[in-house]
Structures are given as C-alpha cells and as structure tokens.
Amino acid sequence: MRYGATVKMPPQPSGNAPESAGTHGLTAYSPHIAVRAAGRLWRLERAADLESLWEAMTADPDDFADERLPYWTELWPASVALADWLALRREEIAGRACLDLGCGLGLTALTGQWLGARVTAVDYEEEALRFARRNAARNNVDQPLWAVMDWRRPAVAQGGMARVWGGDIMYEKRFVAPVLHFLDRALAPDGAAWVAEPGRTVYEAFLHALHNGGWQGRQVFSRVVEPIYAQPVPVTVRVWEIRRAPAFPTSGGGRIGNGRLR
C-alpha cells in the first residue's frame, strides 16, 4: 500500500473487545491481540484484519505489483516462535546491534529490545511502524530504531549487524536473492541470521540458494504454535540459523567457500 493510499478502516467494535487468542483462535476482528512469547504476555494493537485492509485498498495496480500488501496487520505464528528463540539466545544478543527484517506489528523487535539487544527494526510499510511504535509503548519496552526500508535497497552499514532475524518473511521465490543480498550487506563477518518459517515450500528454494551462494544453514529450533486466529490445527514453525560458509585454502593458495546445509 502506498503511503498516501486511501484506506477505509473498519469500525471498531463497541465494548471491550477480546484480546486473548485462546486455544481455538480469534474468530472475529479485534483491534488488540494478546500473546504469550519469550516468557511474558504481549499486548499488540493493529489496524484491522488482513481481509478488511485488502478489500479497502485503493485500486492501484502498482500496490499489487510491488507487493504493497497489508500482511503486516496480522501476527503470524512464525513471529511467536522466533520471539521464544530470541529469549533462548538472550546472552548472545544482549548489548549487540541486531536488525529485525520485516518487523510488522513489532513483536520480535520488541522482544529483542526487551532482552537487551540494540534493535533496528525495518519494514516496507510506514503504517506498520506506526503500530509497532505504539506497541512498544503499550508493553513498556524502550523504542527500537524504526526505519522504513526496502530490502532490495539495503540502507544499512556494511557488516554492521551481529544478528539479523525475520519471521515468515519469504513467501515467493523472487524474494530469495534480495534477502540473501541484504544479509550479505548487513551481517558482520561472524554474524548470523535467524529466519523463522512455517513450512512454506519456497523455503526449499531458499535453502538451495544458501548452499550455492556461499552460506550454510541449519535448523536450530522448532515450536508448535497454538492458533492465533481461527484455524483447525496448530502451526509448526522452524527457525534456521544462517551463517557465511567457512572458507578453506585451495591448492593454488586461494580460498573458496564451503557452503553446505546440515
């Protein structure tokens, strides 16, 4: 959605809207979501449900061609699992420069900041960052550095991030190359990225691209996330750790990467 796009927001329900997703998931739009992750309860405000924003978008073909779709307004299971993983790596991220790629409503950015990381959180949509900023205040977390950014044009310092993470950020094969380019730009030489994914088939292409591009990846965490919205079954989310493959000498004295998946 373009920053100047016209969106007709759905009316907010009267009374106290339910915040808890429960074990069967929300069955109707609620402006607030409560979710437990990383050992605490988070309360998140959002604009509307995805379907309502989709239907309300200005009929601008560029919005669809450029992927300006309002996926940010939902809380995805991958973000919940990723937040739990960050809590397990608290000592690894505390005090270090980290980046949340495609932060949406801000759950994993806020988790990282709460755990002591120095978080830069980026999203393609300015409106997403407005809600993420509100959610930081709502949860009494220091504000990360929020930035509107297109990952195809990474505006970050070369090698400036110790860790980069993202939850369910790839759902088309054409995103694979730009994401790897972004990681190559942003990550410190010994840095690592954590990508949480719910089993989409596109991740097979991503893992093959890692192998061919001088990276290595391994699954480091898995969690079954109970439904946030109405759905028949929980979602199994895997977290992958991605690092540059170690180089080793060739017979001619040069060095090549040893990219392999494990």
pLDDT in tens, 209-222: 998 999 999 999 99
Share of the chain above pLDDT 90, in %: 56
Average pLDDT taken over every residue of the chain: 81
Domain 32-257 belongs in CATH node 3.40.50.620: no
| Poorest-pLDDT segment among 66-80, 207-221, 241-255 | 241-255
Question: What gap in Å lies between CA 138 and CA 22, rounded to an integer?
Answer: 21
Beta-bridged to residue 237, according to DSSP, are 223
Beta bridge partners of 224: 236
Which pLDDT value is given to residue 227? 81
- The per-residue pLDDT for range 18-59, each reduced to its tens digit, is 344 444 455 555 788 899 999 999 999 987 544 554 455 555
**Residue 109 to residue 72: CA distance in whole angstroms:** 13
Q: Tell me the pLDDT tens digit for each residue of 122-156.
A: 999 899 999 999 999 999 999 999 999 998 999 99
Residue bearing the bigger pLDDT, 226 or 10:
226
Closest-CA residue to 228 (of 46, 64, 89, 95): 46
CA 61 to chain centre: 25
- Other Cβ atoms within 10 Å of 232 Cβ, number: 7
Burial class (CB in 10 A: 0-12, 13-18, 19+), 224: exposed
Residue 183's contacts (CB-CB under 8 Å, 6 or more residues apart) are 164, 193, 215, 242
Q: Where are the domains of the chain?
A: 32-257
Single pTM value for the model: 0.79
